Every structure is written in structure tokens, then in C-alpha cells.
Structure 1
Amino acid sequence: MARTGADGGDGAGPAGAEFDPPFEVIEPPALTSPVVLSSPHSGRVYPERFLRSARLDPATLRRSEDAFVDDLFEPAVSLGLPLLRAHFPRAYLDLNREPYELDPRMFDGRLPAYVNTRSVRVAGGLGTIARVVGDSQEIYAKRLPVEEGLRRIDELHKPYHAALQDLLNRALRRFGLAVLVDCHSMPSSSVTGTADPATWRDERTKADFVLGDRYGTSCARRFIDVAEGTLRSLGYVVERNKPYAGGFITEHYGRPASGFHALQIEINRGLYMDEKAMARAEGFDALSRHLHAVVAAVSEVAAASGGPERMAAE
């Protein structure tokens, strides 16, 4: 498998200097599947400059990570498909948001007029640059310069999404369609503070998996059907779109009529990790094998599908 960094793998440039590189694409030996895997929230490199600006300790900041999700899915690259994963953490910049969902209360200076300051995610403190983490704990000790927020977007958000779009465009050219599997995890004890604020709940997470297709709009039904069927056959409890229907990534890239399909997978962290210790648990390897089977099933259905015209007719 080949690994390519955000800037050619050499970490050059301002963003690379902090993360070396900020994200990478793990390529298969041969591209044989229209599926693209993305793990936008599994980054675990925390710059010293960021830690110094935070009022929270590193362990608390890590509560927003989709810890080890990239590692769970990495073996599926052997199926002939790429995996894109971020190295920077969600607490630093959230890729599952619009480019400019920013809270003016966080910044010292005036934000540009084009910034979305009124989204429900911004109101909940979970914009492109999050104001809170965990149980609504404020991240920063003081306001950030506006220039710092815009820098992160220019150097991290935009290049990651450009890379993701390139991978999807390549799949569409090669196979006639592209299927994005957006890979996430959810706390086992509560969904408070991790879902879209409009759907927050304070309850036990009963599902092992939540599959999101934006209520049937972001991908052809056959993809979510085969993912759910495979998981249920393995003994898991699966929900659809509740409480996670998919965020910006699923909504933005899921355009079935144009041949682009997007499916979000949320994994209960209790299946594979010790959430307090932020460490892998005994079930990690078995879960990774099961996810390999899920991706294989989605890939098989995708490979048997026609181009945009056929899929749009479903």
C-alpha cells in the first residue's frame, strides 16, 4: 500500500510543519473498487501551540476524537480502494463542517461577511473550529485571532476536501460511480455533544452502529441496505439516521443522480476501545475484520452497479 501526504509526503509548508503532513491517502496496490474511505475525525497529533492555547488538558481534548477509526478501516484498503485520513484532531479543526461555520464569540477581530455564524452547530459550540469539547467544556483560555481561524481553514479544511473530491472524481471516471464511506465513532455512554446539536440526546447509546444516508438522499438504497444487512448478520444492533443522519460530508458529497454516493458509519466505541484510557480493547481486531466484510459487501454491490443513469433510476 502506498501512502501519500497532503503535500507530497514531505510535510513542507506551514500546515505540514505542524502535522507533517496534516493528512494522508493510503492507496491500494491496484485500484479495483469505486469505494473511497474517509476518516476525518481520527487525527491524534496535537500541536504544542494549540495545547498551550487550550484551558483543557490533552486527555479532555481527546474526547472528541473518533479514536482509532482509521486503524479499524485500514485493512480494507486491500480490497482495492483508498483511505483518506486526517492527522490533525477534530478539536483543532472539524472537517465535517462547512468551510466557514465560525462562532464570532471565539475570535478577536471581525469575521468576513461570508462566514456562517448562525448554524445550529455554531450555536452549540461545534463549528468548523470548535468552541467546546466533551460535556460543553470551553477549549480556549482566550479568544483566537481571526487570522488563525482562517489559516486553519485554508491550510487544512480546504486541502483535505480537495483531496477527497479528487479521489471521488477518480472513482467516477474509472468505474462510473463513486461511493464514499465516511467513518466515525460514537461514545458508548451518551451521544451528548457529539451529534448535530439539533438532535442531541442524553441517553444510553443502545446501537452498535448507526448508518446515515441523510434520510435516503445521499446514496442509493442498496448501499445502506447491504451495509446494514452485513452488520446484522454479524450480530450487531444497527440503527439508521438516528441520531446521526450524516453531517456536512455526507450531505455535500452525496449526489446520487450525478454518480456520487455517501454513507456515514458511526461505531459504538465500547465495541473496540477503553474510552477512559483511550486505548484499544480486546474486541479491536474482530471488529476490524467485520468492518472489512462490510466494506467488501458495499464494494461488491458498487462494482455490480452501473453508472449515474442506472443508479439514479433506483
Structure 2
Amino acid sequence: MNEFDGEQSAFEIVEPAQWRAPIIFNSPHSGSVYPQDFLTASRIDLEALRRSEDSFMDELIAGLSDRGFPVVRVHFPRSYIDVNREPYELDPRMFAGRLPSFANTRSMRVAGGLGTIPRVVGDGQEIYRERIDVDDALGRIEALYKPYHRALRRLINKAHQSFGSVIVVDCHSMPSIGLSRDEPRRPDVVIGDRYGTSCVALVPDVVEQTMTARGYSVGRNKPYAGGFITEHYGNPSSGLHAVQVELNRAIYMDERLRARSPRFDQVIDDFAILADALAEIPLGDLGSFQAAAE
């Protein structure tokens, strides 16, 4: 794991000189630094592994730190370890050795091969040639997963203490076509708010209105309602709001070539407009903790 010698190389948090609003933009799945031991253990090539990436999503939001919004980006790939899962969603069939008794081995995500240490990539291909040593898996959690979440939690707490409320915008991208032929055509943007539980309704409403006005087709919660980050950090009654934004990859990239498309710069501008719109939400409308306690 020498590719990641400490927190700062495993992920990056860019805070603005002055916060414009308590809005954090997070890209947990755009990492593209693949450890050599991982590549060696994989039965599929790098190009296949990269199908799980939210390619370029971190670039689409990178400039928001210059506009007064903190930006979080992960450098390690989600196929290596997925921070948008519980810390110990682990499939016992993948590992040599006994998992801790507290591991969640029965979640739907584990069943689908997409636990904390994924068994498959996004299109369903098996990743590993053979079983992984349990200590390797637990080592990834200690060295990468936990430091990332500690840092994200500190950033959220900082915003919450300063403003009384916070919005985490968890930024993802999705393949333009699902694995099932029966799935309807995917919209340009899918907003996930865990079916109304991870944030006040005003937040996804603003996202939908803003992106619709920019010409995007927008859906909610299907096929993506939000993962662990949205669920875990969203607690609207305490002024903690989390919303997942999934962008259709065909909008900004050539999926086959994994290359930025001519519309890439326009999407950057549209994310800036979205950030500005969210910043205009009055803090009182976010049910801040201080207001709720009065």
C-alpha cells in the first residue's frame, strides 16, 4: 500500500480561504491511483477495473473551492475499497481467514458483490484471482477508509459549528445504460435523498429546479437513492443534510474511450450554478441545530 503514505495522498480536502456557505462537495468514487499489488491480484485488466470509477467527477467540482465551497476528492479507486459503504460490509466468500464478528456479511450490497471491499466491478466482472487475506482487507479499512471518514466528519462538524447547518453534496456519475435491458432510459441527473430522509425537501427541490433550468432531465431516487454517505451523514432534524447527485456519464464524457467530451466545460459551469443556487438557501430553512433547540 505504498502508493498511499498517509491521509493526504489517499484523499484531498481543499477548503476555500473563506467559506461562502456550509456546503461541501464530495467525490468519493473518482479515484484512479491503482496500487500495484491490487493490479497483480486482479484477474481483469486496468481498463475493466476503471469501469467502476466516476471518471472526472472530481474535476467537474474541483473549481468550486475557488468559489467558496470545500471540495473533497478520494484518490484510491472504489474497486479497491469503497468509502460509500459501511466500514465492514464484507463478503466472507472473498477472504482467507475469519472476518470479525461485527462484519455485516448479509447486506444487499454485499450480496451484489459491491461491499466495502468489492468482489465485482460495475459491470459485474469478478475482480480477484483468488481469496484475499482478511488482514489485507482490514488493513485497507484502517489505512484508507477510516482516515477519510474521520476527515470528512471533521469538515462537516466545522461547518455545522460555524453555520448551524450543513449540506453535503455527494457527487457521482452513472453509466448511461443500465445492466438490465428492462431498465428505462436513465435521465441526465438522478437526485438521491434516501426517499426524503437524508435532507429537507428544499435541498433536492433546488437541485432539480436548477438542473432542469439548465436543460437536464432529472429523476429522483431511482435507480440511485444514495449510499452510506448520504444515509450516514444526513440527519435533517439536527441541521445535517446530505444529498446524492448522479450525473449521466454520456453528458460529459465518451464512455467507451474514457475521454472528456466537448460538453465537459459546460458541465463545470452548470455545477457552479448549482453550487450558487444551494448557497442561496436561507440557513433558517435548513432547520439549523441552534434554531431547533430554541
> Normalization by structure 1: what TM-score?
0.89
- Counterpart CA distance in 2 for 1:163 and 1:17 is 16
8 A Cα contact 2:166 2:241, kept in partner: yes
- Counterpart CA distance in 2 for 1:93 and 1:206 is 26
Question: What are the Cα deviations for residues 63-113 of structure 1, in whole angstroms up to 9, with x where unaligned?
Answer: 000000010011122221211110000100011100000000110011010
State the partner residue of 1:218: 198
State the partner residue of 1:163: 151
In structure 2, stretches of 5+ residues that fail to align are none
8 A Cα contact 2:7 2:147, kept in partner: no
Q: 3-state DSSP class of the match of 1:102?
A: coil
In the superposition, relative to structure 1, how do residues 300 and 201 fare at CA in structure 2: closer, same or farther (>3 Å)? Answer: farther
8 A Cα contact 2:89 2:116, kept in partner: yes
In structure 2, give the amino acid aligned to 1:216: G
State the partner residue of 2:34: 46
- Counterpart CA distance in 1 for 2:204 and 2:55 is 24
State the partner residue of 1:281: 261
1:11-90 correspondence runs (5 A): 16-17=4-5, 21-90=9-78
State the partner residue of 1:150: 138
Q: RMSD value over aligned CA atoms?
A: 2.0
In the superposition, relative to structure 1, how do residues 279 and 19 fare at CA in structure 2: closer, same or farther (>3 Å)? Answer: farther
- Counterpart CA distance in 1 for 2:108 and 2:24 is 29
- Counterpart CA distance in 2 for 1:174 and 1:284 is 34
- Counterpart CA distance in 1 for 2:182 and 2:58 is 27
State the partner residue of 2:234: 254
1:126-275 correspondence runs (5 A): 126-190=114-178, 192=179, 202-275=182-255
- Counterpart CA distance in 2 for 1:137 and 1:18 is 30
Q: Which sits farther off after the overlay, 228-237 or 294-303? A: 294-303
- Counterpart CA distance in 1 for 2:151 and 2:6 is 19
> Quick one: which of 285, 289, 293 aligns to 1:308?
289
8 A Cα contact 1:38 1:182, kept in partner: yes
Q: 3-state DSSP class of the match of 1:301?
A: coil
- Counterpart CA distance in 1 for 2:275 and 2:212 is 14
State the partner residue of 2:272: 292
Q: 3-state DSSP class of the match of 1:25?
A: strand
- Counterpart CA distance in 2 for 1:201 and 1:155 is 39
In the superposition, relative to structure 1, how do residues 311 and 210 fare at CA in structure 2: closer, same or farther (>3 Å)? Answer: farther
In the superposition, relative to structure 1, how do residues 216 and 58 fare at CA in structure 2: closer, same or farther (>3 Å)? Answer: same
How many equivalent pairs are there?
293
- Counterpart CA distance in 2 for 1:302 and 1:114 is 41
- Counterpart CA distance in 2 for 1:41 and 1:141 is 23
Deviation (angstroms), 1:205: 3.5
Q: 3-state DSSP class of the match of 1:36?
A: strand
- Counterpart CA distance in 2 for 1:169 and 1:291 is 24
- Counterpart CA distance in 2 for 1:152 and 1:201 is 35
In the superposition, relative to structure 1, how do residues 14 and 263 fare at CA in structure 2: closer, same or farther (>3 Å)? Answer: same
8 A Cα contact 1:44 1:87, kept in partner: yes
Deviation (angstroms), 1:203: 2.7
- Counterpart CA distance in 1 for 2:272 and 2:288 is 24
8 A Cα contact 1:102 1:127, kept in partner: yes
> Normalization by structure 2: what TM-score?
0.94
Q: 3-state DSSP class of the match of 2:136?
A: helix
Q: 3-state DSSP class of the match of 1:138?
A: coil
8 A Cα contact 2:95 2:131, kept in partner: yes
Q: 3-state DSSP class of the match of 1:126?
A: coil
8 A Cα contact 1:32 1:80, kept in partner: yes
- Counterpart CA distance in 1 for 2:232 and 2:181 is 25
In structure 1, stretches of 5+ residues that fail to align are 1-12, 193-199
Deviation (angstroms), 1:309: 5.6
8 A Cα contact 1:18 1:47, kept in partner: no
- Counterpart CA distance in 1 for 2:206 and 2:53 is 27
In the superposition, relative to structure 1, how do residues 292 and 247 fare at CA in structure 2: closer, same or farther (>3 Å)? Answer: same
In structure 2, give the amino acid aligned to 1:250: T
Deviation (angstroms), 1:18: 8.6
Identity, in percent, stands at: 53
In structure 2, give the amino acid aligned to 1:169: N
